[in-house]
Structure 1
Amino acid sequence: MSIRPVLETRAAQPTMEGAGVHLHRVFGFRDPEELDPFLMMDHFRNDDPRLYQKGFPWHPHRGIETITYIISGAVEHQDSLGNTGNLGAGDVQWMTAGSGILHQEMPTPDPQGVNHGFQLWANLPGALKMTDPRYQDVEAREIPEITDDDGTHVRVITGKFWGRSGPVDGIAADPVFLDVTVPPGVRKTLPIDTYRRAFAYVFEGDAAFADASAPTGVLLEKEVAGEEVNIRDMSGDRTLIRFGTGDEVTVQAGERGVRFLLISGTPIQEPVAWHGPIVMNTRAELEKAFSDLRNGTFIKPAH
């Protein structure tokens, strides 16, 4: 067994999207090969409805899949196929944009005014970029939850983990998407397929990743066998950890414990032509998508 080294950690960056939604961008719009097959992830968490209530009005997508995972509050969605729905706490939605879809997503608060969740973008391979759009809405009660003897708790949203399978399937990136909580002071090793790209995103508490002994922050540099690891004394909140190759990740929870997403997927390794919500393989395909938007042919009839 080999522990995945930490290649990089970085803080999610505050930004605004949609009609003025304040959020933190975990990654995206940099090097699309960095976390291939994943393109972007946003973390939205606010307790002031004025910072998110205008939401994400009607906008297009083509060539990608998106997963929306709600921690608290809700998101109401509507699309050009006539689908409507409401994602609540613990729910997840995977949308395959495929050949093209128009939709809107409007956040709503919980009783304390909080709206909290994530949206992850996964690339589609060229052969599937013009597939028919579809939605998978999964309620919280359908998501397997596992609690280990040491109190480590895992929600398996997609993929297989510890003998359980997440309810979202048929995703081109074949991802494993886990919501992991490790109690204070607990050291835990979690398996990951060697051939996948993988990252973690801490959003509660703090932890040290890789084989680190000090649980006061997030590992900043690769662990080198026989050498002391370097730890920054910091909260892990809103921190991305990008891993190298290996078949397991070790995390040491701090005094407050830690909750993080652990996500991995099989790289697509294809050219990326990307502008805003549309991701294709070539510039010509990208230009065709925007031409379709202008002339009203963006939404394709189902096959």
Structure 2
Amino acid sequence: MSTREILAISTGRATSDGAGVRLTRLFGGAAPERFDPFLMLDEFGSDNPDEYIAGFPPHPHRGFETITYMIEGRMRHEDHLGNVGLLESGGVQWMTAARGVIHSEMPEQKNGLMRGFQLWLNLPAASKMSDPDYRDFAPAQIPKVRLPCGIEAVVIAGCFRADGLDQPGAVERPDTDPQLYDLQLPPGSDIEPTLPEGHRLLLYVFEGEVSVSGETVAKNQLARLSDEGALRLSSASGARVLLLAGRPIEEPIVQYGPFVMNSREEIEQALRDVREGVFTD
């Protein structure tokens, strides 16, 4: 069987969003088709409250889903639908903006470490104007597995298959079939997770380093891999890896800030809806 090969390795760029939250944009913006169905991945992590305390005041989204994985810290979500959720360490927030959500994400801590990721996942054209949805998952609701070699996997979405295990995650999304795992590899461990053929595959190493088919991916590096074949990961010194895989939608992507549609006309309509106060109707 062929193995998945690394197509590109990149590092993120420092930026800020919301009311000045410091973060690292690992990908997003130019040429989103490279990462289809994923649109953007941000990493945030600071123990300086000046870099996160202002949070993300009310803002709109249309046309995609946001997945926030909190490793450390507390963040409160509120939206125009009346949903309120507290995202705590180890928890996940999954929001389907679809035709429109206005929400805020505000820190519920004044000091200490806030660390995690936010991923933007595209929706196909047929679902972009569907009803919005919101789900909160406490840490206890997210499946975790431990392999005999000591590797631990937090299975946020999809189904984790490795070493005879078959563990469904907290979320399944039929449109893009996303697989989202937090893998913790102890020193000297290796793993061959089974992933769907044809899925776009991304690996982000946020602790330690891993070897992928003999090529090293270091801390703070994002690897984009080929869409076919087996995946073989190993780590001599230990690592923690965010694994993303999803079925490409293969439709035009037109993005303007928090709106992701299929045409410029749809973007212009979203802007008119905001101006006219009918965005969430």
Q: Same fold (TM over 0.5)?
A: yes
Question: Whose Rg is larger?
Answer: 1
Q: 2:266 matched to which residue of 1?
A: 285
Contact 2:255–2:267 (CA<8 Å) still a contact in 1? Answer: yes
Question: Within 2, Cα distance between the matches of 1:169 and 1:246?
Answer: 21
- CA–CA separation in structure 1 for the residues paired with 2:122 and 2:10: 22
Question: Whole-Å Cα distance in 2 between the matches of residues 264 and 12 of structure 1?
Answer: 19
Structure 2 regions of 5+ residues with no counterpart? none
Moved over 6 A (4+): none
- Say which SS state the counterpart of residue 95 (structure 1) adopts: strand
- Equivalent position of 2:113 in the other structure: 114
CA contact (8 A) 1:108 1:115 kept: no
Amino acid of the residue matched to residue 87 of structure 2? L
What is residue 204 of structure 1 aligned with on the other side?
207
Q: CA deviation at 1:169?
A: 2.9
Q: Where does 1:118-267 land on structure 2 (aligned, <5 Å)?
A: 118-162=117-161, 163-170=166-173, 172-212=175-215, 217-218=216-217, 236-255=218-237, 257-267=238-248
Assess if the C-alpha contact under 8 Å between 2:98 and 2:130 holds in 1. yes
Find the counterpart in structure 2 of residue 8 from structure 1.
Answer: 8
Secondary structure of 2:32's counterpart equals coil
- Aligned residue identity for 1:244: S
Q: What SS does the corresponding residue of 1:192 show, helix, strand or coil?
A: coil
Deviation at 1:21, TM superposition (A): 0.5
Amino acid at match of 1:274: Q
Whether the aligned pair in 2 keeps the contact of 1:191 and 1:247 (CA below 8 Å) is no
TM-score when normalising by structure 2: 0.95
| Contact 2:172-2:178 within 8 A present in 1 as well | no
Distance 1:122 1:246 in 2: 21
Shift of 1:109: 4.1
Separation (CA, whole Å) in 2 of partners of 1:170 and 1:186: 30
SS of the residue corresponding to residue 39 of structure 1 reads strand
Query: What CA deviation, in whole Å up to 9, does each residue of 1:205-225 have, x standing for no partner?
Result: 11222234xxxx42xxxxxxx
Q: Deviations over 1:241-260 (max 9, x none)?
A: 100132322122132x1001
- Structure 1 gaps, min length 5: 219-235
1:205/1:254 contact within 8 Å kept: no
Q: 1-side partners of 2:142 and 2:15: how far apart? A: 30
Instruction: Report how many residues are paired.
Output: 277
Cα 1:170–1:250, aligned 2, differ >3 Å: closer, same or farther?
Answer: closer
Deviations 1:7-35 (A, max 9, x none): 01111111111111000001000111101
Contact 2:4 2:231 in 1 (8 A): yes
